[in-house]
């Protein structure tokens, strides 16, 4: 067919129709597609919200209320955007943990993994500055607390904080630059996401068994395209449930109070998807140490392809690692719970224990557990 020789048509055909896919992948592989859907929703709703938003400390809070109350379907845009942010992180976290469980970070797909971690960092930055824009109480004080962490940098920390703020406190200059960055970063994320997909398709998708499946493959259409769209329908049902019935359940009630620099909230917390990292930050009593621990807790994902020494990819064949993996998920839930609580006992102690296990998992279990499992297998075979 002549039209298949057209460059654009040929590219679409090779990546969306004839792309060879391992025959045994299951619904855990849907979440990459769903993450891309979430990104598209965020960009589309964000562009329309920006048309009515006013980045000024005296008007920002009321411009958001104006969008919800006065703009046609503004409530839908606002709640679609705010809830999609939370659901975006849920989808991406599941996508990451699927990669951890099945060893997707190992060569030859390690560059795909590294690009994905870079996207996670940009998502965190975008979500943080976006949380400031509604200019509620938690927006103002969350921005004040988090940006103040930079002051822990020796010698130049305070100067960097002043530069970030554009003054001597979180004020109008801060809000303006955060709005500009929040509008720009999603397009950068989208560009890197395309690179992420290209890197994946260059080496081919992994599979639950973690073995070479270069022979046992089928074209992605119609088998897996249909599976992706079934996952999309389920995703949209859950997403709609939040938008139409529980639009504010994932937000903090203090953020529906206009920002007041004179009144400090009783307990300042970030959004729920940052709580585990916030708990790690608070678990170390030294400010600079806490900041470094928080950065390392995410940055360590970059080095997993080189940290791991195991020859077996998938946790299906690693019973000890599989139990530790589910224990890691439980520990992250505990860290999220601790991060939402005041800085007092017993939460501090529980957070320190959970943080210790988190770092042991990545710095001890992943590098050395493979050797122990290999020894045990050889011992049983003797």
Contact 356, 349 (CB under 8 A): no
Catalytic site residue from 139, 227, 254, 314? 227
228 as an active site residue: the answer is yes
Distance of CA 166 to the CA centre of its chain: 28
Is 201 known as a binding-site position? yes
CB of 277 within 8 A of CB of 159?
Answer: no
CA distance readout (Å), 271 to 164, 281, 294: 21, 15, 15
Catalytic residue at 159?
no
- Residue 95 marked in a binding site: yes
Residue 117 · residue 125 · CB < 8 Å: no
The alpha-carbon radius of gyration of the chain (Å, integer) is 23
Which of 271, 297, 315, 355 is labelled catalytic? 271
Tokens of 48: 């329309």
Active site residue 227: yes
How many CB atoms are located within 10 Å of the residue 266 CB? 6
Q: Which of 56, 201, 217, 341 is catalytic?
A: 201
Q: Please tell me whether residue 271 adopts helix, strand or coil conformation.
A: coil
Check if the beta carbon of residue 314 is closer than 8 Å to that of residue 208: yes
In the chain, DSSP assigns E strands to 20-22, 217-219
Task: Using the Cα atoms of residue 282, residue 98, residue 36 and residue 247 in order, give the sign of their dihedral.
Answer: negative
Q: Find all residues with CB under 8 Å of 69, minimum gap 6, and list them.
A: 75
228, 340, 341, 374: which is the annotated catalytic residue? 228
Whether residue 65 lies in the annotated active site: no
Query: Is 314 part of the annotated catalytic residue set?
Result: no
3-state DSSP assignment of residue 137: helix
The secondary structure of 200-248 as a DSSP string is HHHH----TT-S--SSSEEESTTHHHHHHHHHHHHHHHHHHHHHHH-TT
Active-site annotation holder among 82, 139, 205, 355: 205
Is 286 one of the annotated binding-site residues?
A: no
Note whether 285 and 297 are within 8 A (CB).
no
Q: How far is the C-alpha of 305 from the C-alpha of 142, rounded, in Å?
A: 34
Q: Is 182 annotated as a binding residue?
A: yes
81 is in an annotated binding site: yes
Give the residue ranges of the annotated binding site for a ubiquinone.
Answer: 201
Give the residue ranges of the annotated binding site for heme b.
Answer: 81, 95, 182, 196
Q: Annotated active-site positions, please? A: 201, 205, 227-228, 271
Give the residue ranges of the annotated binding site.
Answer: 81, 95, 182, 196, 201
């Amino acid at each position: 067919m002549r039209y298949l020789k057209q460059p654009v048509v040929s590219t679409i055909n090779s990546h969306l129709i004839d792309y060879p896919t391992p025959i045994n992948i299951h619904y855990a592989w849907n979440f990459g597609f769903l993450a891309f859907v979430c990104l598209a929703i965020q960009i589309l709703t964000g562009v329309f919200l920006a048309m009515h938003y006013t980045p000024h400390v005296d008007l920002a809070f009321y411009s958001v209320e104006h969008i919800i109350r006065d703009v046609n379907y503004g409530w839908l845009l606002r709640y679609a955007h705010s809830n999609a942010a939370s659901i975006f992180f849920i989808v991406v976290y599941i996508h990451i943990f699927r990669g951890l469980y099945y060893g997707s970070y190992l060569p030859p797909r390690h560059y795909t993994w590294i690009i994905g971690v870079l996207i996670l960092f940009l998502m965190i930055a975008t979500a943080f500055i976006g949380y400031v824009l509604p200019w509620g109480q938690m927006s103002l004080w969350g921005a004040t607390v988090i940006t103040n962490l930079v002051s822990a940098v020796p010698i130049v920390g305070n100067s960097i904080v002043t530069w970030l703020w554009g003054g001597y406190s979180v004020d109008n200059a801060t809000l303006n630059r955060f709005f500009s960055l929040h509008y720009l970063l999603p397009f950068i994320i989208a560009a890197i996401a395309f690179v992420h997909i290209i890197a994946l398709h260059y080496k081919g998708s992994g599979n639950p068994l973690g073995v070479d499946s270069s022979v046992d493959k089928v074209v992605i259409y119609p088998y897996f395209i249909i599976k992706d769209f079934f996952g999309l329908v389920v995703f949209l049902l859950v997403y709609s449930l939040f938008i139409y019935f529980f639009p504010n359940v994932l937000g903090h009630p203090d953020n529906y109070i206009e920002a007041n620099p004179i009144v400090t909230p009783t307990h300042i917390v970030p959004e729920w998807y940052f709580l585990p990292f916030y708990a790690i930050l608070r678990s170390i009593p030294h400010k600079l140490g806490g900041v470094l621990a928080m950065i390392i807790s995410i940055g360590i994902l970059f080095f997993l392809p080189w940290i791991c020494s195991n020859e077996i990819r998938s946790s299906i064949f690693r019973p000890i690692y599989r139990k530790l993996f589910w224990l890691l998920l439980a520990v992250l839930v505990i860290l999220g719970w601790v991060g939402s609580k005041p800085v007092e006992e017993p939460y501090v102690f529980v957070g320190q224990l959970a943080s210790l296990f988190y770092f042991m998992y990545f710095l001890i279990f992943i590098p050395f557990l493979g050797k122990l499992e290999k020894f045990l297998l050889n011992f049983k075979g003797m």
